[in-house]
């Protein structure tokens, strides 16, 4: 079967109804649904609606608090630490981003970390939030399962530990870098398995150091870090900043939420926000960024290269395409979503009349 195309509104509505059925209050369900649907809209298909079956399992098993009291545990003028009370990570990080933006408005820059959060979707969702305020966003997180050993080792003590940075522009597409510290995020491995596709060589190796291409055999190996030992070091540093600094899980303390539906993960994340106006005129800054973007795009290309892309441009292209023509949902995922919908007695995704079929 081919992919089904659905509108953003249809996907948003389906996720919201699912979250309501799982016990989230209406406002929280709306926040989680909006952020999850935005993930799919920008092509982050390893972090959007594909996570519904996993989230549902964990919530129904008691592994996630559906009515958390997210509170400020530590706070200074430009910093804060949030206790997420084991709530959905989307709620914790939306609160963290809002707080960091307000603090940066007053102080020029801010850093807000979290503990006792959960998986929150793609890093760029939160790094992008300050863009609406002409600010720079940076996001760091500890992954929700260890898939990376220390360089030269076999024990998986580190995760994909993503980084995202979003920088505002004047007329060009904002620069948005969203990357795992591994060659591929584990969510992409899941998406490949969902679609019945093989992984490119270089994503994973087995425990004998041989390429692992079948995503359904991913437990037989581990992800590869970007840049060899440098990626291992970067994963470690991100984990220390997003996890250890916040009193959140790192190393052996990380709970594999793919296998454990009941334990509290104590996921750590952090968002930093910089207000460029603290360093000069914001319009001049954005114009300088535009100039650099155009210089890079217009630079000489190697043979066979049609275009030089800037970070964030391809996601923006998908956002525009999917807005116009619908978000693709794999047939295997549709079947899984139908099972969840039937169990929760909510309408199936395909039952909303705004689908692109």
pLDDT tens digits, residue range 113-124? 999 999 999 999
Q: Cβ distance 121 to 55 under 8 Å?
A: no
> Which DSSP state fits 129?
G
C-alpha 125/C-alpha 292 separation (Å) is 24
At the topology level of CATH, where does 1-60+326-357 sit?
Hypothetical Oxidoreductase Yiak; Chain: A, domain 1 (1.10.1530)
pLDDT tens digits, residue range 2-28? 789 999 999 999 999 999 999 999 999
Q: What is the pLDDT of residue 41?
A: 98
Q: Class of the 68-182+225-324 domain?
A: alpha beta
pLDDT tens digits, residue range 39-75? 999 999 989 999 999 999 999 999 999 999 999 999 9
C-alpha 61/C-alpha 49 separation (Å) is 19
C-alpha 328/C-alpha 97 separation (Å) is 29
Q: Residue 215: which of 198, 203, 227 has the closest Cα? A: 198
C-alpha 254/C-alpha 320 separation (Å) is 37
Burial 242-257 (b: 16+ CB within 10 A, else e): bbbbbbbbbbeebbeb
Q: What is the pLDDT of residue 188?
A: 86
The model's pTM: 0.94
Query: Which residue's structure tokens are 């003028």?
Result: 77
Q: What is the pLDDT of residue 355?
A: 52
pLDDT tens digits, residue range 276-297? 999 999 999 999 999 999 999 9
Q: Is the pLDDT of residue 250 over 80?
A: yes
Q: What is the pLDDT of residue 194?
A: 80
Q: Which residues contact 136 (CB under 8 A, 6 or more apart)?
A: 130, 165, 166, 167, 168, 273, 274, 275, 276
Average pLDDT, the chain: 95
The phi, psi pair for 348, rounded to 5°, reads -65, 160
Q: What is the pLDDT of residue 186?
A: 86
For the chain, give every domain's residue range: 1-60+326-357, 68-182+225-324
Query: Which residue's structure tokens are 């793609």?
Result: 122
Q: Residue 82: which of 248, 305, 239 has the closest Cα? A: 248
Query: Which residue's structure tokens are 């790192």?
Result: 250
Name the helix (H) or strand (E) containing 72: strand 71-75
Q: Residue 96: which of 59, 77, 71, 64 has the closest Cα? A: 71
* Structure tokens belonging to residue 13: 């509505």
DSSP string, 9-58: HHHHHHHHHHHHHTT--HHHHHHHHHHHHHHHHTT-TTSSGGGHHHHHHH
pLDDT tens digits, residue range 303-325? 999 999 999 999 999 999 999 99
Q: What is the pLDDT of residue 356?
A: 52
* Structure tokens belonging to residue 262: 């009941």
Q: Do 68-182+225-324 and 1-60+326-357 have the same topology in CATH?
A: no
Q: What is the pLDDT of residue 350?
A: 87
């Amino acid at each position: 079967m081919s992919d089904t195309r659905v509108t953003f509104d249809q996907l948003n509505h389906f996720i919201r109804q699912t979250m309501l059925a799982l016990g989230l209050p209406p406002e929280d369900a709306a926040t989680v649904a909006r952020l999850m649907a935005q993930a799919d809209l920008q092509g982050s298909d390893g972090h959007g609606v594909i996570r519904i079956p996993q989230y549902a399992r964990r919530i129904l098993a008691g592994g996630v608090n559906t009515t958390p009291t997210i509170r400020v545990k530590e706070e200074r003028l430009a910093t804060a630490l949030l206790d997420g009370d084991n709530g959905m990570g989307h709620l914790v990080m939306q609160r963290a981003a809002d707080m960091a933006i307000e603090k940066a408005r007053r102080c020029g820059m801010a850093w807000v970390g979290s503990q006792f959060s959960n998986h929150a979707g793609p890093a760029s969702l939160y790094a992008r939030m300050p863009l609406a305020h002409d600010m720079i966003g940076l996001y760091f997180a500890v992954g929700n399962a260890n898939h990376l050993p220390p360089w030269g080792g076999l024990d998986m003590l580190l995760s994909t530990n993503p980084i995202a940075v979003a920088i505002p522009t004047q007329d060009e597409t904002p620069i948005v870098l969203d990357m795992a510290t591994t060659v591929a995020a584990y969510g992409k491995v899941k998406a490949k398995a969902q679609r019945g596709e093989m992984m490119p060589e270089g994503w994973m190796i087995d425990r004998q150091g041989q390429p692992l291409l079948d995503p359904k055999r991913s437990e037989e190996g581990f992800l590869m870090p970007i840049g060899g030992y440098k990626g291992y070091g970067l994963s470690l540093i991100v984990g220390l900043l997003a996890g250890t600094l916040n009193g959140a899980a790192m190393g052996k303390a990380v709970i594999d939420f793919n296998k454990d539906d009941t334990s509290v993960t104590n996921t750590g994340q952090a968002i930093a926000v910089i207000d460029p106006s603290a360093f000069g005129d914001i319009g001049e800054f954005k114009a300088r960024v535009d100039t650099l973007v155009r210089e890079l795009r217009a630079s000489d290309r190697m043979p066979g290269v049609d275009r030089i892309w800037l970070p964030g441009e391809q996601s923006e292209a998908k956002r525009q395409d999917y807005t116009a023509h619908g978000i693709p949902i794999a047939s295997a995922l549709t079947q899984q979503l139908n099972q969840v919908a039937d169990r929760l007695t909510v309408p199936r995704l395909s039952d909303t009349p705004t689908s692109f079929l």
